[in-house]
Structures are given as C-alpha cells and as structure tokens.
C-alpha cells in the first residue's frame, strides 16, 4: 500500500462476544483506512474464547483460535492484548499476566478499572506498557481522550454524565408514555437494552464504575470506586416524573464528579451517581432513549458536551479499535513521554484530595411529601426547613379529589449541604401530618 513503515502490529483478542465480534469486523472492514493512519497494519492474529466454535465463525480462517486465554497473553509474537472477557477476577488475572509479559492492553472493562485500576496502571507503569480504555466509558463517545488530552489545558471543574443507556431508556419511557418503572424495565428487556438481570444498570453500579474513571481523569486522583455514592432508579415513581415535568425539570440518572475547594468549606471531590432533576432547557436533559451524553466544564473552555451511543457492538468497537490505533502509533515512543493513563503524571496523583462523603455534598433538592389534607401542614414543613437554613425555591400542592383526606406537596429547595437536608427531612417525617417517607431527589442546575 506504500504507507507501511514497520511490520504489522499483532493483536490477541480475548472474548468474542458482542463487542469482540464487532471489533474484529470493524478492524477488518476498515483495515486500509487504519493502515493509512498508523503507517502499519494492525492484525488480530489470535483469538481466545471458551466457545471456540463461535470464535471460529468470527475468525473465518483469518486468526488462530484457542480456548485458553493464557496462550495468547504469553505468546511472544503478540504485541497488544484486547481484554473483552468482562468481570473482575479472571479479567484482572489476564490483564496483569499480559502486562507481566510485556503486552500493551486495550480493555472495555469499566468494572475492572474502577475496582482494580490503581494496581493495573502501576503494573503497566513498571513494565513500560500502555493500558488503553476508551471503550470502558460511554461506548463510542471518545470522552476519555477528550478529558485526558483535548481538555488538558483546563482545570476541570465538574463532569456530569448520562452514562448508562439502559436507565436513560427506562426514564424516557416513563416520561414519554407514563409507564411505571416495572413496565418500562420490561420494555427495555424486550428490546434488548436491559439484561435479564439488570441490577448493575438500574441500581447505578455500571454508571458508578464509569463516573469513578472520569473522576480520576478529570482531577488526577487514584480510582476510588469504593468511595462513590451510588443510588439507582428503582424507587422512582411515575408521579415524580410528572411533577418534575410540571416544574420545568426532567429526571435523569447522572454520574457527577465535582471539585470542591471553596474557602471555609471541605476540600475534595464529589463522586456520586443518583437520579437528578435537571432543568428541561438544558441540552443534557433532552438526551433520550438509550443514548449517552457527558457534560464537562473547564475553566478555559467553559462547557462542552459529548453525545452518542454508549453501547452496542459497533459503537463500542469503534472505541476499541481507536485504542488499537493509539497504541500502535505509540509503540516506538519513549514510555516516559506517553500520555499518562489517568491524564496526570503518576507521581502527581492527588491521593490527598479525598472523595467527599455524600453528607458533605452541596446540592438542591426535590422533596415529595404525602400529607394529611388539613390546615397548617405546609407551615409546619416550611418552619422546619427555615430552622435548618434551607430556603424554598418552588412549591407545588396537588388539590385533593373530593372526599380524599390526603394529598401531595412537592418542594424544590435551594442548594444546601446534604447533612442539613437529612436532619430536616427526619424532623419532617416525624410530623403526624406527614403520612409516608419523604421522596428526595437531588437537583442540579449545572450552571
């Protein structure tokens, strides 16, 4: 082809599920274009999968297939290992073995990096190899490269993202069609957006893995998944979606990480995943269906937003193959001059910049209360909030139906510290006129 400066880069692929098969196909289909960009061919020469028959169908004679992944990570002819096995234990062992054998690694495994990333990146640093992971966060959206390289001139202030397509689809269905959570989940499963066991998605764990990685990239801190506050969408009710809409907001499951260093306040990083009210006018509030979006604010660039498909065979394969291209381009570079894994030089990672507990988070709130329809109820509630120095931004009170003895009151508060909100909510719930637990959803204006 006239552009190859070196011999081919040989790649071993571990796992040929949806993303693995997509990566093999995308690389083969766009081989000529990729070779022009890299200056050498990138070839998947070995595939490992327990289902060797499936692997043989994907390879179609173009790669050697084995059922033993360790054969691939130990093969002296392999330059890069793509880990698409998933999970924690086996994937961790394979990645560390690949690194120990001097292989560069490309992975889409957000759970692995969120939990064991510090150990993996340290091992890679010692061996002088790269670990590339664009596909681990938001699928085909190049958010890792954007934060790590494109915004490297900026002091990042916060990152907020819709980074789980399953939950965004469910919330969109609840809003658009008035579905209950259970009905919307069933529809997501029917269409293939949700797994048979959707726990990691609907409880916010998947989004928390991704938010953890983004926090490290944005603020130069070690990965700290164990300190991330995680709250899913399973307790959301259709009426909360409706009330939010009436007040000019939409509810999204957001991963949020924000730097906090105001004078007199706690210094650290907020790292949290939870349902969040967002003003309907914001771009990110209008991201619907299974799409993902990440909003980043830097001190120089201001606000930037990145939108696209966060999952699927080819969108995720796009990120996997882009990582292969990056690694292939850097194979001959001095390891000390490569882009750092977590954007900041390893020795400068800010272990002294703590993840703040959720009690220290500073945000506004949506509060829905089921109350007895009697005089003085709202006055009692507002008095408690005033005592806690929590000011009210808006009130919505549903008129009870004829003969109904109870009703809903919805309050939007201004920003306050979570521990103050917790204390006020406990006092409100103790009122005899408040009939159920208070429904509390955090609110972010993203201004």
Per-residue pLDDT tens digits for 370-382 = 999 999 999 999 9
Gap between the Cα atoms of 169 and 278, Å rounded: 16
Q: What is the pLDDT of residue 344?
A: 65
Gap between the Cα atoms of 308 and 290, Å rounded: 9
Question: What is the CB-side half-sphere exposure of residue 138 using CA atoms within 13 A?
Answer: 26
φ, ψ (nearest 5 deg) of residue 182: -60, -40
Gap between the Cα atoms of 3 and 41, Å rounded: 10
The predicted-structure confidence for 301-315, as pLDDT tens digits, reads as follows: 999 999 999 888 899
Answer yes or no: are the C-beta atoms of 139 and 308 closer than 8 Å: yes
- Has 210 been annotated as catalytic? yes
Q: Strand 80-83 to strand 9-14: parallel, antiparallel, or no bridges (unpaired)?
A: parallel
Question: What is the CB-side half-sphere exposure of residue 37 using CA atoms within 13 A?
Answer: 17
Q: What is the pLDDT of residue 337?
A: 64
| Regions in the chain scoring below 70 on pLDDT | 1-5, 332, 334, 336-337, 340-348
Q: Which fold has domain 362-443?
A: Alpha-Beta Plaits (3.30.70)
Q: Assess whether the region 143-309 and the region 362-443 belong to the same CATH fold.
A: no
Answer yes or no: are the C-beta atoms of 108 and 131 closer than 8 Å: no
Answer yes or no: are the C-beta atoms of 45 and 11 closer than 8 Å: yes
SS3 292: strand
CA dist 369 → 182, 401, 436 (Å): 22, 17, 7
Gap between the Cα atoms of 397 and 355, Å rounded: 37
Q: What is the pLDDT of residue 1?
A: 43
Tell me what percent of the chain is helix, strand and coil, each rounded to the nearest 5.
40, 25, 35
Question: Which CATH code fits 143-309?
Answer: 3.30.360.10
Gap between the Cα atoms of 1 and 144, Å rounded: 32
Set 92, 103, 110, 210: catalytic member: 210
SS3 270: strand
Q: What is the pLDDT of residue 5?
A: 62
In the chain, the N- to C-terminal Cα span, in Å, equals: 51
List, in sequence order, every residue forming a beta bridge with 57; answer none if it has no partner.
none
Q: What is the pLDDT of residue 2?
A: 47
How many other CB atoms are there within 10 angstroms of residue 186's CB atom? 15
Max Cα–Cα distance, the chain, nearest Å: 84
The owner of tokens 């399973």 is: 234
φ, ψ (nearest 5 deg) of residue 47: -130, 135
How many other CB atoms are there within 10 angstroms of residue 384's CB atom? 17
Q: Which long-range contacts (CB under 8 A, 24 or more apart) does 293-296 make?
A: 293/141, 293/161, 293/162, 294/138, 294/141, 294/143, 294/159, 294/160, 294/161, 294/162, 294/163, 294/214, 295/159, 295/160, 295/161, 295/446, 296/146, 296/147, 296/151, 296/156, 296/158, 296/159, 296/218
Please indicate, yes or no, whether the overall pTM of this predicted structure exceeds 0.85: yes
Q: What is the pLDDT of residue 428?
A: 97
Q: What homologous superfamily is domain 9-132 in, according to CATH? A: NAD(P)-binding Rossmann-like Domain (3.40.50.720)
Burial class (CB in 10 A: 0-12, 13-18, 19+), 446: middle
The owner of tokens 């939990």 is: 115
Gap between the Cα atoms of 89 and 92, Å rounded: 5
CA torsion 59-102-141-50 (nearest 10°) is 40
φ, ψ (nearest 5 deg) of residue 178: 65, 25
Gap between the Cα atoms of 114 and 205, Å rounded: 11
Segments making up each domain of the chain, as ranges: 9-132, 143-309, 362-443
The owner of tokens 């949290």 is: 272
Answer yes or no: are the C-beta atoms of 222 and 125 closer than 8 Å: no
Burial class (CB in 10 A: 0-12, 13-18, 19+), 281: exposed
SS3 176: helix
The owner of tokens 């130990």 is: 74
Q: What is the pLDDT of residue 342?
A: 63
SS3 84: coil
């Amino acid at each position: 082809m006239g552009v190859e400066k070196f011999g081919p880069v040989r790649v071993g692929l571990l796992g040929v599920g949806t993303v693995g098969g997509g990566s093999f196909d995308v690389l083969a289909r766009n081989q000529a274009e990729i070779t022009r960009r890299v200056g050498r061919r990138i070839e998947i020469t070995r595939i490992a999968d327990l289902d060797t028959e499936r692997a043989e169908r994907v390879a179609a004679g173009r790669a050697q297939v084995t059922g033993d992944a360790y054969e691939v990570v130990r093969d002296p002819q392999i330059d890069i290992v793509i880990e698409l096995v998933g999970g924690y234990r086996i994937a961790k062992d394979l990645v560390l073995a690949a690194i120990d054998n001097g292989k560069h690694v490309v992975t889409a495994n957000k759970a692995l990096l969120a939990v064991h990333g510090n150990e993996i990146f340290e091992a890679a640093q010692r061996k002088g190899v790269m670990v590339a992971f664009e596909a681990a966060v938001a699928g085909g959206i190049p958010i890792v490269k954007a934060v790590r390289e494109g915004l490297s001139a900026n002091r990042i202030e916060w990152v907020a993202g819709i980074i789980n397509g399953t939950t965004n689809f469910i919330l969109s269905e609840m809003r658009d069609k008035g579905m209950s959570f259970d009905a919307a989940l069933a529809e997501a499963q029917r269409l293939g957006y949700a797994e048979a066991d959707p726990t990691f998605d609907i409880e916010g764990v998947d989004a928390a893995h991704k938010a953890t990685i983004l926090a490290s990239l944005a603020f130069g801190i070690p990965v700290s998944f164990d300190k991330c506050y995680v709250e899913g969408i399973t307790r959301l009710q259709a009426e909360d979606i409706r009330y939010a809409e009436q007040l000019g907001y939409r509810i999204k499951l957001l991963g949020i990480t924000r730097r906090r260093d105001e004078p007199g306040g706690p210094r650290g990083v907020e790292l949290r995943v939870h349902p969040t009210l967002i003003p309907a006018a914001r771009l990110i509030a209008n991201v619907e269906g299974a799409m993902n979006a990440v909003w980043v604010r830097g001190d120089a660039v201001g606000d930037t937003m990145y939108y696209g498909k966060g999952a699927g065979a080819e969108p995720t394969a796009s990120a996997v193959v882009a990582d292969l291209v990056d690694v292939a381009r850097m194979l001959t570079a001095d390891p000390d001059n490569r882009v750092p894994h977590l954007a900041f030089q390893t020795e400068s990672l800010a272990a002294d910049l703590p993840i703040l507990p959720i009690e220290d988070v500073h945000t506004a709130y949506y509060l829905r209360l089921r109350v007895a329809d009697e005089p003085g109820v709202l006055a009692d509630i507002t008095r408690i909030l005033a005592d806690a120095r929590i000011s009210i931004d808006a009130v919505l009170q549903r008129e009870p139906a004829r003969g109904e003895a109870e009703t809903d009151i919805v309050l939007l508060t201004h920003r306050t510290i979570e521990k103050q909100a917790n204390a006020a909510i406990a006092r409100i719930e103790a009122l005899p006129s408040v009939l159920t637990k208070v429904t509390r959803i955090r609110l972010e204006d993203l201004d």
